Structure 1
Amino acid sequence: MYDGCAITPDIRGIGLASGKPMTLFLTASSTAGSAAAAQAKYEYSMDETLATFVFVTIFLLGQVLGTIVFPPWSESFGRKKMYIFSSGLSAICCMIIGLVHPISAIIVVRIVAGMLSAIPYTIIGGTIEDMFNAHARIWAMFYWTIASNIGLILGPIMSSYIIAGLDWRWNFYIFAIIIGVLTAGLCLIRESRPSLLLAREVEHLRTITTIQSIPPSLNHDHIPSLHGFMKESLIRPAQLFFQEPIIFTVSMMVSVVMSLIYIFTESLQSIFQAVGFSEAHASLIFITIGLGTVLSTFTRFLDSYILNYLRRQGRPIKPEHKLIGLVIGAPFLAIGLWWFAWTIPPDVQTSWIVPALSLVFVGYALTELDTALYGYISDSYLSYSASASAAIAFMRALVSGVVPLFTKQMFSGLGNNIAMTVLAVVATVFCIVPPVFVFYGERIRQASKFARYSWEIQEQMGKDEDDW
């Protein structure tokens, strides 16, 4: 969208190269908290639920707060500083958690770390919309989704082995070192927000020409005053959530689906320990979910084929044309969860490889739903995509933070098989969403205040159809 002007190809490549691993390790630090809680509870004489609340839920509740403030701030005042700010302070927070001993200090720092983690995850949709056309956004959004999801999967594996060999505090020391190194790469990126760049260019022209009659910006997305920011931008994600049916539906679906990762961090290892795995080796089962995540690459090629076919036919490309991942992913998730539910102990005794294979389906589906739904939001809401993503991320963080508090009770009370069946039923209900979006999505968007306004502005700016 702002290619060649906002960010040069070299700088953009460096920035994205640094940003993907940054997203990976920031998200890994959230799921790593579960393993840290399992050991830290003995040091602080806490029960398991309270330890999970301190090391996992508190982080995600902090992320909830971050999604309220930071994305609209980036839409109004730019994105570059937000990335550097979040990554640098996240490294410091990890180091502090490892060094301090009072539990009250750990709680405060964990909340701050959660707030900071919301920055790269929630504003990436806006950054990608700034820099790429809709065709390129397929791959850009996919790379970031892959990085985020693999981070969620890597967290339990890394933390299990670090804690087994060292100590739970070293878990945070190592994350601090990695994130600190990656922060240096983010210093090479440039600002991508069009409104901010246009305002800078206008100010530069005024300086070198001494002409003061140049309009402040030929851009609808102006930089507001602080009063305007407080009045409008902070409540925009809430407006989108409650007023936009697409945002509401996607928020509820993504929050439930992606909370499965946090459910697995609390239950997966114990399930496979029941068939003879050690605690550390049981964490390696998360690799099967990661394998499914990587297999999503093939669906992106299918996305590209569909868009290229439509372009050759001279047909306009709409956001609904990029929902193939949702169409495939929703039933795959239901199949994978039903398969897993009835091939695990105690009611069923099979080789560990049978339920492990079902998690490949689950990993593939999680990535497809995440990629397709966030991509759909980015294409549908354009300049409001960061706030739209914030509304989704708010619910995602809230649900993901709450479910670990009752996951063990749910699995012990209902049993592994029935507990997983409940999740499989929910995934089956979600299979209704793909046909609704595919057949009625355009009509819903046309009735939407924010989606319709974004597309009208795009037309006024003379968007070339070939860019789509």
Structure 2
Amino acid sequence: MSSISLQMSDKMSDVCLSQTGTDKDALDPYLEQLGLQIASDGLHIQWAKGNRRHPRNWKMSRKIYDTSLVVFLELYTTAVSTSGSTAANDAIASHEFEIRKELSIFLFVSLFVNASSFLLYLIGQAIGAIVLPPYSEAFGRKNLYIASTALYSIACAVVAAVPSLAGVIVGRFLSGLVSAIPTTVVVGSIEDMFNSKDRVWVICVWAIVANLGLVAGPIMSTFITADLGWRWVFYIATIVTAVLAFVLLSIRESRPSLLLAREVATLRKITNIDHLQAANPDRVPDIRTYVRVALFRPIRLLFTELIVFVVSVMSGICVALVYLFTEALPPIYEAFGFSTRQACLPFLSLGLGMLLGLTTRYLDLRVINHHRRQGRPVLPEHKLIGFWIGTPLLAAGLWVFAWTIPAQVTNVHCVISILALVFIGYGLNEVDYVLGGYLTDSYLSYAASGLAALSVVRALLSAILPLVSTPLFSSIGNNFSVSVLAGVATIFCIVPPLFSRFGRDIRARSTFAKYSLRMYNEHSVDEDGL
């Protein structure tokens, strides 16, 4: 900004502050002491560059500690979510509940992770996904993490200890509601604390860990159920999440707008100037505004923002495929001659493929560093390399898997299909990670609401696919069923070039994306830029 512009800005600030009875010169020392500054409107207080109390400028050890805890919460709750199918099968085998297999899977898997009908889904997981992330943007993240984890522990205790089907229903419903917190709020916390360069790795770790939770669940529950019974899956979950709820008391609140409001409250106290207000784009003046704007924002984003809709559908299908595999893989490998315990081990191949996604992040960093050396901004479209690579590998992996498994193919060694699962795992993770990052970079401070919309779609699809997998695979067979999935993945391959070519224009026409970027540029305190 030119010196003339700076002088004009200072004069405007003096005028605005003088109208409210505030002496700017008298206020400056206090602002400097607290690392704050007057906003461009001359009326509000905002963060100054490099303020060490802003989450982006916290010590790296603090960021890693807080992020590790919430990411582990995501890992464990996701693992327990995919344990539901094994628990359902054991409950059926023991004749503990006189219900059909499909209903049992619905209760154990769908009510816990995502309801499989609109009614139960909207009552459970989707309510949490819609209501709670916007709440975290307006009122903070920490208390939500603690409360949801504690309630999660109670819900698991109800499922494990109550000797009736009603206990399963109530416990799973409550679990579905509160499980929305780690799934949809974690990325918002990451965006609070890390700039674009660091987010490449942090969101990558989060995506891999979350997806590893999906594949770890069936393995964990198979061995626990075999030795201790299905109820111990939930007894152990009760203990782990209870301890985690206590440990989460040690994390810090990371929502910058909430922290800024506290800083300005301190400024008012030491200056005795009661009318000072924080520049707060997340401010919700009353409950009616919160309901009208914040609560319906995820749904509005889903149906009015093309990027949010496409990302939600694609990412939702990819995650739902893992839930489908929790039902489909064990019978397939039992047909190869595997035992019940051995039949869950091919999930490790999916996990290995997901871990290989770390190698793609080096390509992301090369692109980012190249643009920065040339002084050019790094756009969200510049970070789609993994999307370009992952979609064809996902399709190829599914096609190979489809025609190297029984019943139509019986003369191919099981190792071939297991290797195909590595490519499937890599592709699933890349699509999920890159699209999650693309959504975060496109909507920045409203990332949690955008991801809440994604979670709604993901929840619905993750509930439906495990329910339809048994009739689908039994009616047309393993090979043709997986071929249907491979065909869908093949269609996905046209999306990366479309996003790369038209993504910037789509964002330029988006009211939410433009507003979020403007708020970011005005209130950013990053020392290293985006």
TM-score range, shorter chain: over 0.9
Asked if 2 retains the 8 angstrom alpha-carbon contact of 1:86 and 1:119, the reply is: yes
Unaligned runs of 5+ in 1: none
> In the alignment, which residue of structure 2 is the partner of 1:169?
231
Q: Judging changes above 3 Å, is the alpha-carbon distance between structure 1 residues 83 and 3 closer, same or farther for their aligned structure 2 residues?
A: farther
Asked if 2 retains the 8 angstrom alpha-carbon contact of 1:11 and 1:188, the reply is: no
Q: Structure 1 vs Structure 2: percent identity of aligned residues?
A: 47
1:463 Cα deviation after fit: 6.7
Q: Distance in 2 between matches of 1:225 and 1:377?
A: 28
What pairs with 1:17-416 in structure 2 (closer than 5 Å)? 17-41=68-92, 42-59=95-112, 60-61=114-115, 62-214=124-276, 216-349=277-410, 350-416=412-478
Q: Distance in 1 between matches of 2:262 and 2:367?
A: 39
Asked if 1 retains the 8 angstrom alpha-carbon contact of 2:54 and 2:525, the reply is: no
- Encode CA deviations 1:336-367: one digit per residue, 9 max, x unaligned: 10010000001112111110000000111111
- The one-letter amino acid paired with 1:365 is G
- The one-letter amino acid paired with 2:106 is F
SS of 1:46's partner is coil
- Encode CA deviations 1:16-53: one digit per residue, 9 max, x unaligned: 22222211110011100000000112210211101011
Q: Distance in 2 between matches of 1:382 and 1:2?
A: 19
- Encode CA deviations 1:160-202: one digit per residue, 9 max, x unaligned: 0111111000111112222222223321111111111111111
The range that moved more, 281-290 or 5-14, is 5-14
SS of 2:445's partner is helix
Q: Which one of the candidate residues 513, 517, 520 is aligned to 1:451?
A: 513
Q: Distance in 1 between matches of 2:502 and 2:369?
A: 23
Q: TM-score, structure 2 length as denominator?
A: 0.86
SS of 2:72's partner is helix
Q: Judging changes above 3 Å, is the alpha-carbon distance between structure 1 residues 428 and 265 closer, same or farther for their aligned structure 2 residues?
A: same
Q: Distance in 1 between matches of 2:80 and 2:290?
A: 31
Q: Judging changes above 3 Å, is the alpha-carbon distance between structure 1 residues 2 and 237 closer, same or farther for their aligned structure 2 residues?
A: farther
CA radius of gyration, larger in: 2
Asked if 1 retains the 8 angstrom alpha-carbon contact of 2:50 and 2:527, the reply is: no
Q: Distance in 1 between matches of 2:52 and 2:348?
A: 38
Asked if 1 retains the 8 angstrom alpha-carbon contact of 2:51 and 2:525, the reply is: no
1:127 Cα deviation after fit: 1.1
> In the alignment, which residue of structure 2 is the partner of 1:5?
53
1:288 Cα deviation after fit: 0.3
Asked if 2 retains the 8 angstrom alpha-carbon contact of 1:6 and 1:191, the reply is: no
- The one-letter amino acid paired with 2:149 is S
Q: Distance in 2 between matches of 1:420 and 1:210?
A: 68
SS of 1:316's partner is coil
SS of 1:43's partner is coil
Asked if 2 retains the 8 angstrom alpha-carbon contact of 1:196 and 1:223, the reply is: no
- Encode CA deviations 1:423-467: one digit per residue, 9 max, x unaligned: 000000011110011111001100111011111222333677952
Q: Judging changes above 3 Å, is the alpha-carbon distance between structure 1 residues 462 and 357 closer, same or farther for their aligned structure 2 residues?
A: closer
Aligned Cα root-mean-square deviation (Å): 1.5
- The one-letter amino acid paired with 2:53 is C
Q: Distance in 2 between matches of 1:115 and 1:140?
A: 26
> In the alignment, which residue of structure 2 is the partner of 1:461?
523
Q: Distance in 2 between matches of 1:274 and 1:159?
A: 21
Q: TM-score, structure 1 length as denominator?
A: 0.97
Asked if 2 retains the 8 angstrom alpha-carbon contact of 1:195 and 1:223, the reply is: no
Asked if 1 retains the 8 angstrom alpha-carbon contact of 2:125 and 2:179, the reply is: yes
Asked if 1 retains the 8 angstrom alpha-carbon contact of 2:125 and 2:178, the reply is: yes
1:322 Cα deviation after fit: 0.8
> In the alignment, which residue of structure 1 is the partner of 2:15?
none
SS of 2:280's partner is coil
The range that moved more, 457-466 or 280-289, is 457-466
* Number of equivalent positions: 467
Asked if 1 retains the 8 angstrom alpha-carbon contact of 2:298 and 2:450, the reply is: yes
- Encode CA deviations 1:51-92: one digit per residue, 9 max, x unaligned: 011101111122222111111111111001011111121122
Q: Distance in 2 between matches of 1:288 and 1:3?
A: 45
SS of 1:38's partner is helix
Asked if 2 retains the 8 angstrom alpha-carbon contact of 1:14 and 1:185, the reply is: no
Q: Judging changes above 3 Å, is the alpha-carbon distance between structure 1 residues 452 and 464 closer, same or farther for their aligned structure 2 residues?
A: same
Q: Distance in 2 between matches of 1:299 and 1:137?
A: 14
Q: Distance in 2 between matches of 1:116 and 1:224?
A: 26
Q: Distance in 1 between matches of 2:461 and 2:374?
A: 43
- The one-letter amino acid paired with 2:236 is I
Asked if 1 retains the 8 angstrom alpha-carbon contact of 2:71 and 2:186, the reply is: no
Q: Distance in 1 between matches of 2:361 and 2:178?
A: 30
Asked if 2 retains the 8 angstrom alpha-carbon contact of 1:6 and 1:193, the reply is: no
1:2 Cα deviation after fit: 8.7
- The one-letter amino acid paired with 2:63 is R
SS of 1:276's partner is coil
- Encode CA deviations 1:322-341: one digit per residue, 9 max, x unaligned: 11111111111100100100
The range that moved more, 340-349 or 60-69, is 60-69
1:3 Cα deviation after fit: 7.8
Q: Which one of the candidate residues 55, 63, 66 is aligned to 1:15?
A: 66
Q: Distance in 2 between matches of 1:462 and 1:110?
A: 41
